[in-house]
Amino acid sequence: MEKDKLYKLKAEASGLKPILNIGKNGITESVIEEVKKQVKANRLVKIKMLKTMPEGESIQDAAQKLAESTNTTLVEIRGSTVVLYR
């Protein structure tokens, strides 16, 4: 993805509220379906990874897995918040 577009998406995402919290159950089929639905409706979504996520799974790994399984682009990981775009 080109840098200009990436900067615009990051700027746009900064004003968004997280639409989904991923916690102790991690990334399940229902989470993937919900993210797909939200991305289809909004094209840019922000997701919060809670501290209760399964042990041993880093936020980077979880974000990459979520992006791959929802066919989206990982725009940014800031702290425990992930931004996806389609």
Cα–Cα distance for residue pair 86/75, rounded to 1 Å: 10
Mean pLDDT (whole number) for 59-80 = 95
pLDDT for residue 55: 81
The pTM assigned to this predicted structure is 0.93
pLDDT tens digits along 14-59:
999 999 999 999 999 999 999 999 999 999 999 999 999 888 889 9
Of 3.30.70.20, 3.30.110.60, 3.30.1950.10, 3.30.70.600, which CATH number belongs to 3-85?
A: 3.30.110.60
pLDDT for residue 78: 95
Cα–Cα distance for residue pair 68/27, rounded to 1 Å: 12
